[in-house]
Amino acid sequence: WGTSCSVTAASLAPTPCLAHGAQPWAWLQFSQSGQPKDYALPNASWSQGMLNLYNEFVEKSKDGTWKRIPSYRLMLPLLTPEHPCPFTHPDLMKLEGEKMSKDTRLFLRSLDEEGLGFEYVMFLNPSEKRMVTVYQPGPYLEGHPGFAHGGSTAAIIDSTIGGCAIFVAGRVMTANLSIDFKNPIPLGSVVLVDGKVNRMEGRKVFLSCQVWSADGQTLHAEATALFIHKPVG
Ligand SMILES: CCCCCCCCCC(=O)SCCNC(=O)CCNC(=O)[C@H](O)C(C)(C)COP(=O)(O)OP(=O)(O)OC[C@H]1O[C@@H](n2cnc3c(N)ncnc32)[C@H](O)[C@@H]1OP(=O)(O)O
């Protein structure tokens, strides 16, 4: 899962499901060519602060407590009964790539140039049902001068806890997201988006999330959310 790791079907193999026959690999996304480029690896735009936090979680991942989540331009279509586990197919990357629409991109991976938009890497802690995102908002996410637009903060929160909810429940949609914005996030700074599942009731997954500065001194935002499980088919 480190920086030198090449992405193979084996390295992306799913972790055990937690509930509802969850398919934790369902969030994997593939590039339009079918050859995946993993965007959740360091690039030249990452600040030293971003690299430091990334390395901290890579270190924590060595004993399996945390897992880095690869990130591609597109989200893998949610799995069908015919393809319950795509990792068993040797031509996975190509097949899934060809199934994708050619004209869409995942919102958070919509910009080509490194560093201008959302730079982020997610780490999942399966036993804690917790997802943290190391996040560096770029200059094209501006709201008030010099600060990230609140909508961009909502998007990174939604994706962080969305990933967490997918892990526990499989296919989910955001039904409700409530955010208290506490302190503005400077563009180019590094923050930690820390989300977790609090409880599940039937199809409902309740989560909470906090956005902290990298030094842990500033709470930028906190949120609660409800995701609803939508069974495939
Ligand atoms: C690693 C990368 C991961 C990337 C993750 C990306 C995550 C991105 C997530 C998104 O942005 S999703 C896009 C934004 N969300 C939507 O567009 C959802 C639009 N809404 C819907 O599709 C439906 O309203 C919804 C799926 C949320 C629910 O419809 P359903 O028909 O499946 O459920 P229903 O309305 O029967 O409600 C089920 C239960 O949830 C409750 N519920 C539904 N919406 C609620 C709400 N908004 N607030 C509170 N409770 C709600 C509802 O009262 C009910 O409770 P009970 O079972 O106790 O009766």
Q: Residues 39, 72: contact at Cβ < 8 Å?
A: yes
pLDDT band at 9 (very low <50, low <70, confident <90, very high): very low
Looking at the domain assignment, is residue 17 inside a domain?
Answer: no
Q: Whose CA is nearest to atom 11 of ligand 1?
A: 174
151 located within any domain: yes
What pLDDT does 219 receive? 98
Count: domains in the chain: 1
Nearest ligand 1 atom, CA 122:
1
CA of 12 to the centre of ligand 1 (A): 28
Tally the residues of the chain: 233
Q: What is the ipTM of this complex?
A: 0.98
174 Cβ below 6 A of ligand 1: yes
What percent of the chain has pLDDT above 70? 71
Domain that holds residue 178: 24-229
For the cut 50, the answer to whether the pLDDT of residue 12 exceeds it is no
More confident residue, 31 or 195: 195
CA–centroid distance, 78 to ligand 1, in Å, is: 17
By CB atoms closer than 10 A (0-12, 13-18, 19+), residue 141 is: buried
Strands ordered across the beta sheet of 219-229? 67-69, 118-125, 130-137, 191-201, 204-213, 219-229, 172-181
The letter for the amino acid at 166 is: I
Domain membership of residue 5 (yes or no) is: no
- What is the distance, to the nearest Å, from the Cα of residue 48 to the centroid of all Cα atoms in its chain? 21
Q: Does residue 159 have its Cβ closer than 6 Å to ligand 1?
A: yes
103 is catalytic: no
Catalytic residue, chosen from 38, 63, 91, 158, is: 158
Once rounded to an integer, what is the mean pLDDT over residues 181-207?
97
CATH code of residue 135: 3.10.129.10
- Read off the pLDDT band of 29 (50, 70, 90): very low
For 188-207, what is the mean pLDDT? 97
Give yes or no for residue 228 CB within 6 A of ligand 1.
yes
Indicate whether residue 157 lines ligand 1 (CB < 6 A): no
Q: Is residue 170 part of a domain?
A: yes
112 within some domain: yes
2 within some domain: no
Q: What is the 3-state secondary structure (H, E, C) of the chain?
A: CCCCCCCCCCCCCCCCCCCCCCCHHHHCCCCCCCCCCCCCCCCCCCCHHHHHHHHHHHHHHHHCCCEEECCCCCCCCCCCCCCCCHHHCCCHHHHHHHHCCCCCCCHHHCCCCCCCCEEEEEEEECCCCEEEEEEEECHHHECCCCEECHHHHHHHHHHHHHHHHHHHHCCEEEEEEEEEECCCCECCCCEEEEEEEEEEECCEEEEEEEEEECCCCCEEEEEEEEEEECCCC
Residue 56 lies in a domain: yes
Q: Is any ligand 1 atom within 6 A of the Cβ of residue 176?
A: yes
pLDDT, residue 170, reads 77
Q: pLDDT tens-digit profile of 67-106?
A: 888 787 766 544 444 434 333 333 334 444 555 555 678 8
Mean pLDDT of 139-155: 98
What is the Å distance from ligand 1's center to 34 Cα?
A: 31
Q: Measured in angstroms, how far is the CA atom of residue 173 from the centroid of ligand 1?
A: 5
In a domain, 96, yes or no: yes
Give the distance (Å) from ligand 1 centre to CA of residue 20. Answer: 17
* Cα–Cα nearest to 152, from 161, 142, 162, 165: 142
**Which of 124, 173, 205, 229 for mutating ligand 1's site (highest number of atoms within 8 Å of CB)?**
173
> Model pTM?
0.84
The pLDDT of residue 76 is 54
Say which range, 25-29, 45-49, 139-143, 165-169, has the weakest mean pLDDT: 25-29
Distance CA 18, CA 60 (A): 21
